Structure 1
Amino acid sequence: FLRWTTYGCVTATLLLGVTPHLLTALVLFGIANFCYQLGTIFYDALLWRVAPPGRLGQTSGIGAAFGYAGSMIGLLLLWPFVRWGGYQASFAPSALCFLLFALPSFLMIREARGPRPSSWRELMRTAWLRLGITVRFARRHRGLWGFLWASFFSSNAINTVLVFMAVYTRKIIGFTNTQLMTFFLFSQAFAIAGAIVFGKAVGRWGAKRTLAVVWCGWIAALGLLVADVSERLLWVAGPITGFCLGSTWATARVLLMELSPKDQLAEMFGLAGLFGRASSILGPLLWGLLVWDPARYPVALLSLIGLLVIGLWILSRVPEPPVSVTT
């Protein structure tokens, strides 16, 4: 499945680089994003197979660090294409790089083949049935169900920051394109460090406690932006955000594995992915309703802090996993 979602994302991204029509571009972007988001579920589920025994947290952190390093390299490689031919000129090299760096996983990771469905109709029917079973199973496990809701509220805030940070730095701070790229590269460097540091911290503190510390870091970063809307503080909040971003996904997926039955990891990652996709709706919608006036940006930031506080409160009620997979 990871292979086919990658091919779908690469193909749609390639076509984005040549289509002259806005509506077609929007459809292609939707397809590319759908394939990418679906692929992350299968990618995360592979972590259990490739991580050495006792090093799940560290492996998750290293994987996240490589991802953010790729983001930095991608920005540097694509910037000349943008300056030469505009933003549309960056899609084709992006797609080719995506395919190139995906090939090692296709060639080196081997999985046992399961039974194939006889048709797409059977596949969809089975998927819906399994989703219902998975939801009912998760609701019977208080720790797992609580973690999913804690992640839902916190991810609302985090996804909103990721979506609107470029708009915020441009409209409120007044960054140019060059300043914006420098800012993101600087913050991404801290994301690499955060993924590695907290990946190791998971093994010492446990995934739940580590994730709580990470979410507190997000609250601190957003609190700085509420306190003073200035370029000086943004250069402080940006690295904190990057440090926390790198560790958020590395830590959260380890906690999900600790709370999930090992024979249902794929289903639980799929359910977590469903919660994650749903969480990309509420936060941006709340942000959009609050920032119709630029003077209301601090109120919008406070609303994101509120979502993180709710997530932290729910996480505090999640029981400690009975057995840590990181030790």
Structure 2
Amino acid sequence: MDNYVTVVDKNVEPTKIEAKRTHFGNVFLWSSYDAADTLFSQGIISIVFQPFVLLLAYEQGITNYWTAFALMSAFMAFSNLLVAIFGPIIGSISDTIGKRKSAVLISASLMVISTLAFLIWRNFWWLSIMFVFANFGYQAGRMFYDSMIPFISKTDQRGVTSGISGSLSFIGTFAAIGLAQVAYSIWGKFSEPGKVFEEGASITYTSLEWLTVIVIGAILVFTIPFLFSKEKENTNSFSLKQNLKQAGIEFKDTLREIFQYKNALLFILGWFFVTDASNTTILYMQLVMIDGVGADPGQALMIIAMGGLLSMIGAIIVGVLLDKLGPKKNFIINIFSWFIAVSIAILACIEVDGKHIVPWQIMFLVGFFIGIGFGGIWLIGRQFVFEVAPPKKVTQYQGFKQIAGRVSAIISPIMFLLMLGLGVKLGLSISNQYAIALAPLLVFFMIGLIIVLKYVDVHKEYLAGERAPYKKLLK
């Protein structure tokens, strides 16, 4: 595999540090981590953490649903704030050192160890603090992982490479669903938080504890092939102190560069609004389905499974279309898919005289459109970065993209929380509170669309071998 050699000279032509060939066997090895971190996202963040922490809150005397939700959201927001602050900085260090795979593994270790620590103490505050560290490891690992693509795949096959990893990532989704079903069948379903807070129902979360252990074990297994993947490194002979100093210089330079580079700024702003809305949709969708729409945990898993299958198919299609059409056109289609999904979810949450105006089964349609949206959005974001960033600054730009994504992930829980609070003040049911909380997401999607339409498409120039800053943008 002659493609994966070490480039020592940091002053080489930018594209020379990129991969010139794509070894698809290596791509599949690399893609295994996508399945692992998706399993964490679906299995731990979506299925385990949220109901677990709400039930622990109630058990420890926090009996108001809005208050418990607010505390949970505050910890999630703080975790994302850490990623937003440190993402570009550690990205700059990674670019300077020229190794990304090692950074992925260090981040994954933090994610795994912190998650296992959930089980040391059945305590709301402990679980929330450990989640902060686990989520930081997950988000940082994702940033480094995405940045590896230009160093394992050649220019005109990076969309396909993303598509392969995106489709394999949904093995993680299906694994999360399957493992959850196994846990429920053996240890019983966990208590539904909405019923516990409203009706004082009995609390059980044994299946969530066991599911945590099983999911982490599966993550470790999924990560094994990644250990054998290779990237084209661009290392140097600098000492650690010199690398850190150089990383600081590069970080400041990139920060100035982004604010002078309109296309990069438009992408980051558009990404902020769209991911704010899409992150919120994914983050709270299980609670929306259970407490907002009235589905039980098993029915919610069925909808997630269908969405996962569609996402897997959609990832492959988007990967191919990215190489042909570029990220801008794909992003526009993606935004409309999310808009439709959230619109239907709002309809499904609405209650009149204590009854939902549509049956919970309409959420399968929501799963369909979320599947299309979720299957492509992260692949599109990767491709945008490759096209707006100079090759030697890919991880730094991923870090600044993370700022947009993580700041939006801070704002979205707060916004969602405030809208839930408005519903409480209005005396609405939990279902109608969720309907109100989802409504602002539609505005965010439309703002993101307007910004993205102003982005100048440079995909043809990128495929032709040109890199940022592009000549046509300097005129």
Aligned to 2:142: 40
Residue 346 (structure 2) pairs with residue 216 (structure 1)? no
Aligned to 1:319: 456
Say if 1:55 and 1:326, in contact at 8 Å, map to a contact too.
no
Bigger-Rg structure (1/2): 2
Aligned to 1:58: 160
Deviations 1:182-237 (A, max 9, x none): 11111111111111111111222221111111111111222223455432432212
Residues in 1 aligned to 2:168 and 2:436: alpha-carbon distance in whole angstroms: 35
SS of 1:324's partner is: helix
Code of the residue aligned with 1:135 in structure 2: it is: L
Say if 1:206 and 1:324, in contact at 8 Å, map to a contact too.
no
Say if 1:61 and 1:251, in contact at 8 Å, map to a contact too.
no
Residue 443 (structure 2) pairs with residue 306 (structure 1)? yes
Residues in 2 aligned to 1:86 and 1:316: alpha-carbon distance in whole angstroms: 46
Residue 272 (structure 2) pairs with residue 152 (structure 1)? yes
Residues in 1 aligned to 2:243 and 2:319: alpha-carbon distance in whole angstroms: 40
More helix by share: 1
Aligned to 1:4: 106
Code of the residue aligned with 1:309 in structure 2: it is: M
Task: Structure 1: state its 5+ residue gaps.
Answer: none
| Aligned-pair CA distance for 1:25 | 2.2
Task: Structure 2: state its 5+ residue gaps.
Answer: 1-102, 188-205, 350-357, 424-429, 466-475
The two structures, once aligned, show a CA RMSD in angstroms of 2.3
Say if 1:156 and 1:283, in contact at 8 Å, map to a contact too.
yes
Deviations 1:277-319 (A, max 9, x none): 1110122211211123243544433310100111111111111
| Aligned-pair CA distance for 1:110 | 4.2
Say if 2:293 and 2:348, in contact at 8 Å, map to a contact too.
no
Shift of the 265–34 alpha-carbon distance from structure 1 to 2, 3 Å rule, reads: same
Aligned to 1:131: 251
Q: Normalized against structure 1, the TM-score is what?
A: 0.91
Aligned to 1:288: 417
Aligned to 2:223: 102
Residue 194 (structure 2) pairs with residue 194 (structure 1)? no
| Aligned-pair CA distance for 1:151 | 0.2
Say if 1:221 and 1:238, in contact at 8 Å, map to a contact too.
yes
Say if 1:78 and 1:93, in contact at 8 Å, map to a contact too.
no
Say if 2:315 and 2:376, in contact at 8 Å, map to a contact too.
yes
Code of the residue aligned with 2:403 in structure 1: it is: L
Residue 398 (structure 2) pairs with residue 269 (structure 1)? yes
Give aligned pairs, total. 325
Code of the residue aligned with 1:291 in structure 2: it is: L
Aligned to 2:295: 175
Shift of the 205–108 alpha-carbon distance from structure 1 to 2, 3 Å rule, reads: closer
Identity of aligned residues (%): 21
Say if 1:147 and 1:315, in contact at 8 Å, map to a contact too.
yes
- Out of 22, 29, 33, the residue aligned to residue 131 of structure 2 is 29
| Aligned-pair CA distance for 1:56 | 1.0
Higher mean C-alpha displacement, 106-115 vs 135-144 = 106-115
| Aligned-pair CA distance for 1:116 | 6.3
Shift of the 227–171 alpha-carbon distance from structure 1 to 2, 3 Å rule, reads: closer
Aligned to 1:141: 261
SS of 1:64's partner is: helix
Shift of the 23–283 alpha-carbon distance from structure 1 to 2, 3 Å rule, reads: closer
Say if 2:148 and 2:231, in contact at 8 Å, map to a contact too.
no
Residue 375 (structure 2) pairs with residue 246 (structure 1)? yes
Code of the residue aligned with 2:115 in structure 1: it is: T
Shift of the 268–241 alpha-carbon distance from structure 1 to 2, 3 Å rule, reads: same
